[in-house]
Structure 1
């Protein structure tokens, strides 16, 4: 019997949830934690070890999440599919991963005047 999926930590909930193509052939569904994994590694440039720590998952789990996300995005780009972000098992970390290293997105929001 498989273990229960642990809740993954993400920095924020994403506002853009759907990306359309011109011909809308099919839809690739990607979870919020898959987007977060790509953001941490590909945008922030973090190692998989540090990114896994920020999401509170093992490195192996993080790698599976990241590879699944990259495959879905690549398929959407090559095949011309829509990309729909939603679902998953996550919670938004507060504030910015509870004192751990701040991500660029949170630093940008802190630098902007209110």
Structure 2
């Protein structure tokens, strides 16, 4: 039986829960510039692979990230439904009920 790819709709409440942690906000900020591997994220954020993976799982389960396997690496990127919520300059996330300006968030 062929597998069907379902386009996941965006859930504002799940997004807000996932983004309610500073490290996850820092991770999302990294993805604004494009897809990243776990090792790249660890180096740029100075966070252990265990912690990065834990936060990536939360973001993925909330529908904010997509993952692609490339050999032994996993490459993460912003999910299409999540990218649609970013402004044209890609630095402001508009959830309707609130906005996150990634340029104004603490490092």
Instruction: With the length of structure 1 as denominator, give the TM-score of the two structures.
Output: 0.37
**Larger % of strand: which?**
2
Instruction: With the length of structure 2 as denominator, give the TM-score of the two structures.
Output: 0.38
Higher relative contact order (CA 8 A, sep 6+): 1
- Larger Cα-atom Rg: 1
